[in-house]
């Protein structure tokens, strides 16, 4: 679970924490889409804004980069692919591959965009409680026909319940195997079977028990409607988002 | 699936599979130098065990959680950026994948032996994931088709064949209960 720490909720009383969750979700999706059209001027503006929010949320940039190092590796591959495959003036030649000037600029731009989208997602999950997220998802799904939003909301809370449970069960089984000298087992297929079958069995038993106990407590889809707390700043945030998005489309 | 009791049970199971898919992105089984990531095996299993409709619900919740920023995608990342990012095609490809896998296995499982029908059902599902993933990768990175295939398909084929075989047996064991 240690790896989850950065992306999970951090309690605080900052501007982002107090915003309405629905507002945060709308702004996040809106910016994520409009940023795909952005050019360097707009990217610099939004990077400064995001760095400001990171500082206000008390997230260190270095630890953030450490946590998403696999993502950065992926970005690096995309940069190389862009730099090599775009046609243009040759910048320098590395053995037989030539990097073009246009390709490098294009690669930097694409990677920058993906990085900003990623950091925005992290800011959102740091400042939003999972239960609020569930309520907001239910609220957004309500107007869509043929989607049982209440059942999905139950599924989300079950998901949040199961997710850490599975990771814990796997660790338990791995530890139990270790005490029984599983290191001596050389056959990889047997190793997998020895771990996966007990884990699956335990988890499915858990799910069975949960279904029975939910039923025993007359669990139904008629839940209390979620309530949202507004900070009063939502209107300003929407206006700022529209301005920012139009900057991104214009430049 | 008509009565209320089954609905509740299937809801629990669909959430369980969504959580398993998310956990599969975290758990890697260390055999040899390349660890196996279990994300897609659970998507296929969801299709086989839950069927097309509930499998779809399970993958839908998984992707919804991911889009909302919960760290459920490979490497402990999340966010709508990941869905729009370079590997987003594979994730969105899970939606048709689970539906088709579920549909075929529902149709076939009564006619031919279970393991065989499971394998037949999973092959088109896996191909759909690759098609969606590769075409999205091509659009984003603008590489040539040969390069895209070398990066996005060839390294995973052997692993996926093993996963399909493992999933067909696992589905039989789980389905018995």
Q: What distance in Å separates the CA atoms of residue A163 and residue A33, rounded to the nearest whole number? A: 29
Whether A207 sits inside 8 A of B16 (CB atoms) is: yes
Residue of A8, A128, A159 with shortest CB distance to B18: A159
Q: What distance in Å separates the CA atoms of residue B43 and residue B61, rounded to the nearest whole number? A: 12
Residue B31 has a pLDDT of 47
DSSP string covering B85-132, please? STTHHHHHHHHHHHHHHHHHHHHHTTTS-HHHHHHHHHHHHHHHHHHH
Q: A150 in helix, strand or coil?
A: helix
Residue of A118, A137, A215 with shortest CB distance to B8: A215
Q: How far is B50 from chain A (nearest CA, A)?
A: 13
Q: How far is A78 from chain B (nearest CA, A)?
A: 6
Say which residues have a Cβ less than 8 Å from residue A141's Cβ, sequence separation at least 6. A147, A149, A152, A153
Whether A7 sits inside 8 A of B71 (CB atoms) is: yes
DSSP state of A227: -
**Axis-axis angle for helices A149-179, A188-216 (nearest 10):** 140
pTM, two decimal places: 0.78
Whether A170 sits inside 8 A of B81 (CB atoms) is: no
Test mutation, A2, A68, A121, chain B, max B CBs within 10 A:
A121
Q: Render each residue's pLDDT in chain A as its tens digit; 251 residues.
A: 344 444 567 777 888 888 888 888 888 888 877 887 778 888 898 899 989 988 888 778 888 887 777 778 778 877 887 777 777 777 677 666 777 888 888 888 888 888 888 788 778 878 888 778 888 888 888 888 777 888 888 888 888 888 878 878 888 888 898 898 877 878 877 887 888 888 888 898 988 899 899 889 888 777 777 777 777 888 888 898 888 888 888 76
**A108 phi/psi in degrees, rounded to 5:** -60, -45
Say which residues have a Cβ less than 8 Å from residue A161's Cβ, sequence separation at least 6. A210
Whether A155 sits inside 8 A of B18 (CB atoms) is: yes
Say which residues have a Cβ less than 8 Å from residue B69's Cβ, sequence separation at least 6. A7, A28, A121, A122, A124, A125, A128, A133, B78, B79, B80
């Amino acid at each position: 679970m240690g790896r989850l720490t950065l992306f999970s909720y951090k309690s605080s009383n900052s501007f982002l924490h107090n915003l309405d969750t629905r507002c945060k979700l709308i702004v996040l999706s809106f910016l994520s889409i409009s940023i795909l059209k952005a050019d360097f001027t707009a990217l610099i503006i939004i990077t400064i804004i995001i760095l400001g929010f990171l500082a206000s949320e008390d997230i260190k940039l270095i630890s953030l980069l450490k946590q998403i190092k696999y993502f950065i590796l992926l970005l690096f591959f995309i940069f190389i692919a862009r730099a090599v495959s775009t046609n243009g003036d040759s910048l320098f030649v590395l053995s037989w591959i030539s990097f073009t000037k246009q390709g490098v600029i294009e690669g930097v731009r694409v990677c920058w965009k993906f990085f900003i989208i990623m950091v925005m997602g992290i800011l959102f999950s740091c400042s939003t409680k999972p239960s609020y997220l569930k309520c907001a998802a239910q609220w957004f799904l309500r107007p869509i026909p043929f989607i049982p939003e209440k059942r999905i909301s139950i599924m989300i809370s079950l998901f949040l319940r199961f997710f850490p449970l599975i990771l814990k069960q796997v660790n338990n089984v791995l530890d139990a195997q270790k005490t029984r000298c599983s290191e001596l087992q050389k056959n990889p297929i047997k190793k997998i079977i020895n771990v996966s079958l007990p884990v699956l069995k335990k988890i499915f038993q858990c799910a069975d028990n949960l279904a029975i106990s939910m039923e025993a407590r007359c669990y139904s889809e008629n839940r209390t409607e979620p309530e949202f707390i507004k900070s009063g700043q939502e209107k300003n945030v929407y206006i700022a988002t529209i301005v920012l998005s139009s900057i991104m489309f214009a430049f | 699936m008509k009565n209320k009791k089954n609905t509740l049970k299937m809801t629990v199971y669909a959430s369980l599979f969504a959580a398993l898919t998310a956990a599969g992105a975290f758990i890697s089984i260390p055999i040899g130098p390349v660890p196996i990531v279990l994300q897609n095996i659970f998507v296929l299993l969801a299709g086989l065990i839950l069927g097309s409709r509930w499998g779809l619900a399970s993958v839908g919740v998984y992707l919804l959680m991911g889009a909302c920023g919960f760290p459920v995608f490979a490497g402990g990342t999340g966010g709508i950026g990941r869905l729009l990012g370079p590997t987003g095609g594979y994730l969105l490809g899970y939606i048709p994948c689970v539906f088709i896998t579920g549909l075929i296995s529902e149709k076939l499982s009564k006619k031919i032996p279970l393991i065989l029908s499971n394998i037949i059902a999973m092959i088109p599902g896996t191909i759909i994931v690759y098609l969606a993933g590769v075409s999205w990768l091509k659009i984003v990175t603008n590489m040539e088709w040969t390069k895209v295939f070398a990066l996005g398909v060839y390294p995973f084929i052997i692993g996926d064949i093993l996963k399909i075989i493992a999933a067909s047996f696992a589905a039989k064991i789980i389905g018995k209960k």
